[in-house]
């Protein structure tokens, strides 16, 4: 599936992503007939990855609502954060992404999950 290839390019992971049982659907975005991003859902416990900020913005804009307290938008992606604020989203709770061991920052645009 192209979404898995996108995940591999964006996150550096070659492991197949699986959706936890609460998720019955995933969202995808396509550009030029190619899948360029996906979201397991748009919620606090979900993740998303896309080739560009525009692809990720399309996923976010397609949401009728967000699960739980919302999405985690990395503040280091200032263009995405500014877009979110300009489109009516607000900061609810600033958080810090921390990792044990080597951390490889993903390429492309992404929304982390609180679960991993």
Decide if pLDDT at 110 tops 80. Answer: yes
Residue ranges of domains in the chain:
2-111
Q: Where are the beta strands (DSSP E) in 1-116?
A: 27-31, 34-39, 48-50, 109-111
Encode pLDDT of 75-103 as tens digits. 999 999 999 999 999 999 999 888 899 98
Q: Determine whether domain 2-111 maps to CATH 1.10.12.
A: no
- In a 3-state reduction of DSSP, which class is residue 83? helix
- Alpha-carbon distance 64 to 77, whole Å? 23
Closest CA to 52 of 70, 31, 33: 31
**Tell me, what's the pLDDT at 22?**
54
CB atoms within 10 A of CB 116: 6
What lies within 8 Å, CB to CB, of 14 at 6+ separation is 8
| Residue 4, pLDDT score | 53
| Residue 1 pLDDT | 44
Q: Can you give the pLDDT at residue 16?
A: 46
């Amino acid at each position: 599936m192209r979404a898995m290839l996108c995940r591999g390019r964006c996150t550096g992971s070659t492991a197949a992503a699986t959706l936890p049982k609460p998720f019955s659907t995933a969202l995808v975005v396509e550009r030029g007939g190619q899948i360029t991003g996906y979201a397991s859902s748009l919620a606090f416990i979900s993740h998303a990855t896309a080739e560009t900020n525009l692809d990720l913005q399309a996923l976010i804009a397609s949401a009728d609502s967000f699960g739980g307290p919302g999405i985690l938008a990395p503040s280091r992606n200032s263009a995405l954060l500014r877009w979110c604020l300009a489109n009516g989203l607000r900061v609810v709770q600033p958080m810090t992404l921390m990792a044990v061991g080597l951390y490889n920052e993903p390429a492309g645009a992404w929304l982390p999950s609180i679960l991993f």
